[in-house]
Homo-oligomer: A and B are copies of this chain.
Amino acid sequence: MDSKTFKEWGHTVVDWISQYMEGMEAYPVLSQVRPGEIKGKLPGGAPFEPERMERIFDDFKRIIIPGMTHWQHPSFFAYFPANTSGPSILAEFLMAAMGAQCMVWQTSPAATELEEVVMEWLRQMLGLPEGWSGVIQDTASTSTLCALLCARERSTGFAVNRRGFLQGSEKKLIVYTSEEAHSSIEKGVKIAGFGRENIRAVPTDDNFAMIPGELEKSIARDKRSGHLPCCVVATLGTTSSTAMDPLRPIGEICQRFNLWFHVDAAMAGTAAMLPEMKHIMDGIEYADSFVFNPHKWMFTNFDCSAYFCKDADALTSTFEILPEYLKTDLDRQVKNFRDWGVPLGRRFRALKLWFVIRYFGVKGLQEKVRVHIALAKEFESWILQARDFELVAPRTINLVCFRYHPLGNDLSEDKLEALNKSLMDELNRSGKLFLTHTKLRGKFSLRMCIGQTNVSRDHVMRAWDAIKEMAKRLSSP
């Protein structure tokens, strides 16, 4: 495609995207297609002859769009958001056009150095300790895997990298996290070869936050059994209920027992930009590593996960490889982010962070996040006031966990689950909003997460009306 044709199609696509943004609310949030429906419309083999762009773009609109769940719809309240924004989209467009592969400094010096700069900006914005280094990973799953690998190597003097996993030793490396931690911890533990039997799910308190005393007991028990406690993963903002593990007491325990301390703040990290939320970071100086995802709640489109660590050498020593074909004269003078994570190749993701932070300014980012938290607080107050609804977990930031619980009926947990499951399914089928569920101490709970870039009070009010109305309809005989 020559530059002239690209230009024509580029303008067509810009117009379409602008219309898509403009008309977003006409789409059902959750795609309404059935399994196999999209596949059924596509040929089983690749076309031999080239096809015209008109036809490809028409098929995109006609076949693909109905199969999309619209993550940028302001009534997307499901999971955690993966929100984007104009400056982020423009940056991703430029990244794709330049198509730079930023594995080492010389393959695009601006990519490496801009990454250093924006990660330093983020470090300051979140109040992470001075001197920490940052690197962009794809997702929090990968960032947490990096932390687990560093923990593994530091606790064994880099012997696993060298000789394999504790060959001939009975000592088991143990990883601690709360019973509410994200599934990526288990995934990382398996990938890194710890074995999932060697994760300890530390009990949580009534706020679903890790109980430091229980962590300490668990470590002591493992030491008595001759195991090697290795790493603690604390969570700021659990996926089920955005519970906040208390970093300071956990950090003190890690220091005492010389354990790697990783903090998973994938979603909630963004909130630490607010002065009034800084308290969640209390004790962060004890941590060895920290991850939060600008692609969740910082208007930077997926993927963009910010990983920070106290000791960059531990990271690079864990990943370092230096084949001849990657050597350059400058290897001692510059950062080569190739050695900071799993993949060798890297996109120029710093560009979108740079565009977003500058376009919003710290002030603009803070304002958005503040509005989302205030909306969640208001939604929570509606739940608390409603006779037939109840909170299932305390709200900490922008997520409200609640369920429908009609008064006067003595419903069993099973019945309540069925009722709330129906409520969720019917709401999602309506296309007006999208929310998802979790279980908290066995209670089936709906999750209302308010963090989409363009969500307003009006969208939250309409969601609440729809929820109440649907609940009433399900309850009437």
Additional A-B contact list (19), CB under 8 Å, known A37-B109, A83-B99, A161-B195: A1-B87, A5-B86, A10-B90, A10-B93, A31-B108, A35-B334, A45-B124, A48-B361, A53-B359, A56-B355, A67-B109, A67-B114, A70-B98, A164-B193, A165-B166, A165-B195, A191-B191, A302-B347, A325-B438
A109 vs B321: C-alpha distance when bound (angstroms): 38
A10 touches B18 (CB 8 A): yes
B138 and A343 contact, CB distance less than 8 A: yes
Contact A161 B190 (CB under 8 A): yes
Interchain CB contact under 8 A, B96 and A89: yes
A142 within 8 A of B: yes
Residues of B within 8 A of A38 (CB): 109-110, 113-114
17 of the cross-chain contacts (CB-CB < 8 Å) are A2-B86, A4-B18, A6-B17, A7-B15, A35-B105, A38-B114, A46-B362, A47-B357, A56-B87, A79-B325, A96-B301, A139-B345, A161-B196, A167-B170, A183-B323, A295-B345, A324-B438
A407 in the interface (beta carbon within 8 A):
no
Count of chain A residues near B, Cβ 8 A: 161
Are A108 and B67 touching (Cβ within 8 A)?
A: yes
Given contacts A3-B21, A170-B168, A437-B324, contact A84 B64 (CB under 8 A): no
CB neighbours (8 Å) of A44 from chain B are 117, 120
A60 CB, nearest partner CB in chain B, Å: 7
Is A397 engaged at the interface, CB distance under 8 Å to the other chain? Answer: no
Chain B residues in 8 Å Cβ range of A342:
141-142, 145, 187, 191, 342
Q: How far is the CA of A122 from the CA of B152 in the complex (A)?
A: 38
Compute how far the CA of A359 lies from the CA of B55 in the bound complex, rounded to whole angstroms.
Answer: 10
Q: Check A184 for interface membership: any CB of B closer than 8 A.
A: yes
Q: How far is the CB of A28 from chain B (nearest CB, A)?
A: 12
Which residues of the other chain, B, contact A438 by a CB distance below 8 angstroms? 324-325
| Alpha-carbon gap, A82 to B103, bound state (A) | 11
Shortest distance from the beta carbon of A8 to any chain B beta carbon, whole Å:
9
Across the two chains, which residue of chain B brings its CB closest to A45? B124
Q: Do the beta carbons of B343 and A142 come within 8 Å of each other?
A: yes
For residue A151, give the distance in angstroms from its CB to the closest CB of chain B: 13
**What B residues does A169 contact at CB under 8 A?**
168
A119 nearest CB across to chain B (Å): 11
Contact of A285 with B by CB under 8 A? no
Residues of B within 8 A of A35 (CB): 105, 109, 330, 333-334
Closest 6 CB pairs of A and B: A67-B110, A164-B195, A1-B86, A193-B193, A165-B165, A10-B14
Q: Are B31 and A106 in contact (CB under 8 A)?
A: yes
A63, B110: Cβ atoms closer than 8 Å: yes
Chain B residue contacts of A116, Cβ below 8 A:
39
A239 interfacial by beta-carbon distance below 8 Å: yes
